[in-house]
Chains A and B, each alone.
Chain A
Amino acid sequence: MAESGKIDPMHQFAIEPLFGTDHLSLGGFNIAFTNSALYMVLAAVVLWIFVIGGMKRELVPGRWQMAVEYMTGFIKNLLIANIGEKGRKYIPYVFSLFMFILLANLLGLLPLGLIGMHPFTFTSHFTATGVLAIMSFSIVLIVGFWKHGFHFFSLFVPHGTPIAMVVPLFFIELVSFMVRPFSLGLRLFVAMTAGHVLLKVLAGFVINSANASPALGLTVGTASFILMIGISALEMLVAVIQAYVFALLTSVYLNDAENLH
């Protein structure tokens, strides 16, 4: 623990069981309902409420229905741009993935600390992002082998490869393919963690400098606070972009599985 006035920027990532469910278990595995699980449930419920508002199915949509249709249309266009018309069948999955990650990122940024609650961003845990990444990767593998059988391995040998280069290229492409779930999961985890740590470090500067002396508080504290405002805006952008990147890469990988090269 960093001893900078007892403000630990990593404490926000600590997982704590809630409601005395510490020892809840299933088949010998601990499944305690934690603050992380609470935010997963919150993200799912908020998304549910959001989409319910789009279920009016009116020909001339209201604002809410328009917003929901905009999001589904956005995912549809993303999939059609990357995969083609065959991409339509992945709308439910990629929409779920994108909106779930987006809401997780945004809910974790809510300034709930002001009313004494502790916001938690479960996308800053690679146990969570890893599951999502493995899920996307598994779908790519299943679709690829289902549609193309062993021909799917031709993905690792680009067109026009000289015979001598086939074997080395196959292994290079195989490695780059196998790295995908890690890059997918780690990218989101790192981006979220880094942003939240930065915000907490700057918040620590504000508090510690103000506690040290008024002069330091006015100079270092004010500068850090202004920086925090800018970085908060940046973090909201990152929250959207990381969700988009996850959905985009998933659709790019799905394109490999659907159409090979």
Chain B
Amino acid sequence: MPQIAQIADTYSSQIFWLLLTFGFVFFVIGLGMVPKVQGTADARDAKISGDLDAAKAAFARADEAEADYRVRDAQNRTAAQAVVAKAKSEAAKASEVKLAAADAEVASKIAAAEARIQAASTAALAEIETVAVDAARDMVARISGVETSDDAARNAVKAALAHG
């Protein structure tokens, strides 16, 4: 086995060259280059996770904005409905007032017309009385030749009208 047979001749050379080559590997590659390689990989990992976090945050913000929008939309809807209801009730009130005013006018006109009719019918009745008194005096004068006084004739007519 050369590993044992040659050990006395070769151990110093083996150790020397191993320390030299491994020293180069450790100091130049391990300490000099590997941290940079690993640093690049770590920076990339950090960037990826940072980007992912940013994307998640953006998603959360978008959700928040949507929820906010929904709330405002609902608020606007209720506000609009309130405005519509208010307008409706106001319009109803206004038309009620107008209707009442028109009713009052119509009623006053009717009342005036009724008063006029009353007046006209009273006047007509009075005229009928006068005409009847004249007619009664004429009839009395023609039948009996007696000139009746105006008052007597009037009383007789009034009594007849009241009975009749």
Contacts and interface: CB of A to CB of B under 8 A. Distances in A.
Nearest to A36: B14
A66 B75 CA distance: 55
B59 interface: no
A48 B28 contact: yes
B37 interface: yes
Contact of A34 (B3, B13, B37): B13
B1 A34 contact: no
Contact of B29 (A33, A47, A59): A47
Interface in A37-75: 37, 40-41, 43-44, 47-48, 51-52, 54-55, 57-59, 61, 65, 68-69, 72-73
Interface size, A (range):
35 or more
Nearest to B9: A30
Contact of A37 (B13, B31, B35, B38): B13
Interface string B2-32: 1100110111111111111110111011110
A44 B2 contact: no
Interface in B118-159: none
A95 interface: yes
B117 interface: no
Given A10-B2, A31-B13, A92-B26, A72 B37 contact: yes
24 contacts: A14-B6, A15-B10, A17-B13, A26-B16, A30-B13, A40-B17, A40-B20, A47-B29, A48-B28, A51-B34, A52-B33, A55-B33, A57-B36, A61-B44, A68-B37, A72-B34, A72-B37, A72-B41, A92-B26, A92-B30, A96-B25, A128-B18, A131-B14, A193-B3
Interface residues of B, number: 37
A127 B30 contact: no
B78 interface: no
Contacts of A36: 10, 13-14, 17
B16 A69 contact: no
A73 B25 contact: no
A244 interface: no
A44 to B, nearest CB: 4
B41 A73 contact: yes
Contacts of B3: 13, 124-127, 189, 193
B50 to A, nearest CB: 13
A246 interface: no
Contacts, number: 145
A73 B38 contact: yes
Interface in A103-141: 122, 124-128, 131-132, 135
Interface in A73-93: 73, 76, 91-93
A93 B26 contact: yes
Contacts of A131: 14-15, 18-19, 22
Nearest to B14: A127
Given A73-B38, A91-B34, A92-B34, A125 B26 contact: no
Given A69-B40, A91-B34, A95-B30, 8 more contacts: A30-B13, A36-B13, A41-B21, A47-B29, A96-B26, A126-B3, A131-B14, A131-B22
A32 interface: yes
A44 B19 CA distance: 11
Contact of A92 (B6, B12, B18, B35): B35
B101 to A, nearest CB: 83
B22 A14 contact: no
Contacts of B56: none
B97 to A, nearest CB: 77
A19 interface: no
A96 B29 contact: yes
Given A13-B1, A69-B37, A73-B41, A92 B31 contact: yes
Contact of B2 (A14, A40, A47, A58): A14
Interface string A178-195: 000000000001000100
